[in-house]
């Protein structure tokens, strides 16, 4: 019998859980958990100002860290323009979120895939649609979010950058909290401010900023809590 080889993941929290970077993700996890004691955060959106700032990588590592703490975690790839979570987890993109939107496909048949990380499952993007913002703003999307919440302790949503297209802002108002990834070497200050304004406009609950790509000894990722 030939067994499918397990995908090898290039995620630091999987390959090197004792590294300082993985430790920083555990600090991020703790900070998120403490940021909302009264109202548990079940749905969190991760976005950034521009492409390539590391939001999908940060989200995947955060998801692994959450799953490692025993939380049943689902990653939902809502970047319907440049999805990458299926690649990060070595899985297929043939079925996913957009497949759940076509016709009256029953939720129970949803193609949520297991990853090699215990407690962590992936809803890939599915085939790319011509109208991502419209889909993400639809009533059906609200139903899908409710379904995913039912399936897990925590759902992390990947999304396109918030400045260029409205997708992330549309989703931001439907989730419990939003994390903004800022790249220390890249993100322009005024764009970060604009991103925050856009999130405020839709009444998003901005949990804080994840500062990625920081050249500090023993720490590549830092998290600043508060409304910064
Ligand atoms: N802290 C980091 N150090 C080095 N490379 C990084 C870091 N964060 C992200 N990357 C790399 O940068 C590229 C873009 O990251 P990605 O997470 O896809 O960004 P986004 O989702 O914001 O477009 C990827 O090749 C990723 O591996
Ligand atoms: Mg991405």
pLDDT in tens, 16-73: 999 999 999 999 999 999 888 788 899 999 999 999 999 999 999 999 999 999 999 9
Q: From ligand 1's centre to the CA of 215, what distance in Å?
A: 14
Q: For 148-163, give the DSSP string.
A: HHHH-SEEEEE---TT
CATH of domain 20-225: 3.40.50.300
Task: Kindly list the protein residues that place their beta carbon closer than 5 angstroms to ligand 2, a single-atom ion.
Answer: 56, 84
Q: Is residue 51 in contact with ligand 1, taking CB distance under 6 Å?
A: yes
- Confidence grade of residue 217 (pLDDT, cut at 50, 70, 90): low
**Global pTM exceeds 0.85:** yes
For residues 45 and 141, the answer to whether their CB atoms sit within 8 Å is no
Report pLDDT for 71. 97
Cα dist from 99 to 86, 102, 144, whole Å: 15, 6, 11
Pairing of strands 206-212, 222-225: antiparallel
Q: Whose CA is nearest to atom 11 of ligand 1?
A: 54
Q: How far is the CA of 59 from the centre of ligand 2 (A)?
A: 9
| 108 three-state secondary structure | helix
Tell me 4's DSSP state: P
Domain boundaries, the chain: 20-225
């Amino acid at each position: 019998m030939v067994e499918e080889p397990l995908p090898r993941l290039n995620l630091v929290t999987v390959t090197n859980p004792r590294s300082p970077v993985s430790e920083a993700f555990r600090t991020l996890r703790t900070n998120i958990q403490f940021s909302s004691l009264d109202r548990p955060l079940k749905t969190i959106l991760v976005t950034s100002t521009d492409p390539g700032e590391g939001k999908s990588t940060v989200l995947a590592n955060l998801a692994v860290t959450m799953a490692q703490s025993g939380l049943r975690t689902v990653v939902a790839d809502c970047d319907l323009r440049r999805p990458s979570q299926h690649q990060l987890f070595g899985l297929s993109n043939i079925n996913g979120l957009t497949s759940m939107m076509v016709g009256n496909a029953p939720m129970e048949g949803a193609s949520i895939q297991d990853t090699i990380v215990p407690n962590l499952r992936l809803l890939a993007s599915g085939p790319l649609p011509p109208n991502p913002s419209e889909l993400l703003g639809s009533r059906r999307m609200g139903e899908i979010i409710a379904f995913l919440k039912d399936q897990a302790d925590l759902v992390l949503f990947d999304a396109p950058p918030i400045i260029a297209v409205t997708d992330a802002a549309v989703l931001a108002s439907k989730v419990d909290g939003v994390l903004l990834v800022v790249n220390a070497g890249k993100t322009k200050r005024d764009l970060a401010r604009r991103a925050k304004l856009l999130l405020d406009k839709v009444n998003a609950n901005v949990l804080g900023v994840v500062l990625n790509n920081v050249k500090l000894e023993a720490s590549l990722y830092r998290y600043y809590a508060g409304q910064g």
